[in-house]
Copies of this chain bind each other. A is one copy, B any other.
Amino acid sequence: MTHKIAILGASGYTGAELIRLIATHPEMEIVALGANSKAGMEMAEVFPHLRHLSLPKLVKIDQIDFDQVDLCFCALPHATSQAVIKELPKTLKIVDLSADFRLRDPEEYARWYGGQHQALECQNEAIYGLTEFYRDDIKSARLVAGTGCNAATGQYALRPLIQAGVIDLDEIIIDLKTGVSGAGRSLKENLLHAELSEGAHAYAVGGTHRHLAEFDQEFSAIAGRPVKVQFTPHLLPANRGIVATIYVKGDPAEVHQTLAGAYADETFLEVLPLGQTPSTRHIRGSNFCHIGVTGDRIEGRAIVITALDNLTKGSSGQALQNANLMLGCDEDTGLMLAPVFP
C-alpha cells in the first residue's frame, strides 16, 4: 500500500532530508511539496541534489488538496508551524518538525518562546515524538511533535538513567557540540563559511538554549520532581552531527548496564562496549545513535557520550520513524541506510 505524503517547508534542510529518505521508501509517495517563498520552482532548482527524483513542483500551502494526503510532514519555522497546522483538516495525520508542539505546559511555551501559543487545541492532542519512549502513543496519534535535535541527543543518554535512579539528578552537565545544519538554511553572518570553518565556540551559554525546555519537561516527568540540567551547546565546523558529552555522578558500570539494557531491542540506538567513545563521523547521514559510557578517574563519576545526525535521527529521520508508526509501516522502513563515511 502506498501512502500519500505532503511536505510543508520543503525548501529547508529538514524538508530536503525528508525527501532524501522517502526517495527509497517503498510505501510512501510524495504528492505535494509546500514552500511559500519558493512556490512555483522545481525542486531541482532549490536542491539540485534531488534532481534525479520525479517530484511535484513547489506550491503555496493553500494550493495543496489535503484530501489527497494521508500524512503531512510540517518542516516550517517555529510559530509559522502552529498557524498553519491550526488550519489543516482536523483528520489529517501530521508530523511536525518545529518546536511548536513540544511543550505540554502553555506557560513553559510562552516563557521559552516569548509569546502565547496560538493553537492550544492542537497542542492538547500532540504526542512528543521521541519514538523509543512514546512509541505506543505515536502509533495512534494524529499529531506528533518532533523533538529538538539537541534534546533528543541528551535524552537518549539520560532518560533510562533518571528512570532507574542511578545518577544524581542535581549534578547533570550536558556539553554538546553540533554541526551547523541544525541552524537551517537561514542567512546569518555567523553561519557563513568564513566565520565558521576552522574553529569552534560555545553559544547560548548559561542555560538559555530553548531545548532546555524539553529537558526540563521530560526529565522532571520521569523523576517525578523538578530536574534542571546544565547545558552548553557549541558550534562545530561541520555540517551534520551532534556529539554530547554528559557528566553524571553514578557508578559507570551501572550506568552502562542501564543503558545497554534499556536499548537492547532498539534498532537505532547502539550502546557501545563500556569505555568506547562514539564519533559523529560514524552516524553521518543515518538514523543511528551511538552511545558510549566511560568511568572517570574520580570514583562515582561517569561520562556518557551520545552521537547522532541532527538532520536524520535528530529531526527528519525521527519524523519518518514516527510517520511509519502512524501509518502502520514497519518502524524502520526507509531508515536502514548505512552512515556515509568518510
Contact = CB atoms under 8 A, between A and B. Distances in A.
Given A205-B277, A205-B303, A275-B206, A200 B177 contact: yes
A189 interface: yes
A270 B51 contact: yes
Given A51-B270, A194-B13, A241-B200, A338 B298 contact: no
Interface string A172-207: 010101011100010111011111111111110111
Interface stretch (A95-103, A133-141, A281-289): A281-289
Given A24-B24, A47-B341, A338-B52, A238 B200 contact: yes
B243 A201 contact: yes
A16 interface: yes
A114 interface: no
Interface string A62-98: 0000000000000000000000000000000000000
A245 interface: yes
B198 A198 contact: yes
A225 interface: no
Interface string A317-342: 00000000000000000001111111
Contacts of A207: 296-298
B199 A279 contact: yes
Interface string A264-297: 0001001000010111111111101010101111
Interface string A212-247: 100000000000000010101010111111010101
Q: Top 9 A-B pairs ranked by shortest CB distance?
A: A207-B297, A201-B279, A199-B281, A194-B342, A49-B339, A49-B282, A187-B187, A175-B175, A199-B280
28 contacts: A13-B342, A16-B341, A19-B338, A20-B339, A20-B341, A23-B337, A48-B278, A49-B286, A50-B338, A51-B270, A177-B234, A180-B192, A181-B342, A187-B187, A187-B188, A191-B192, A192-B192, A198-B198, A198-B241, A198-B280, A198-B281, A199-B238, A200-B279, A200-B280, A202-B303, A205-B292, A206-B297, A232-B303
Interface of A: 13, 16, 19-20, 23-24, 47-53, 173, 175, 177, 179-181, 185, 187-189, 191-203, 205-208, 212, 228, 230, 232, 234, 236-241, 243, 245, 247, 267, 270, 275, 277-286, 288, 290, 292, 294-298, 301, 303, 305, 307, 336-342
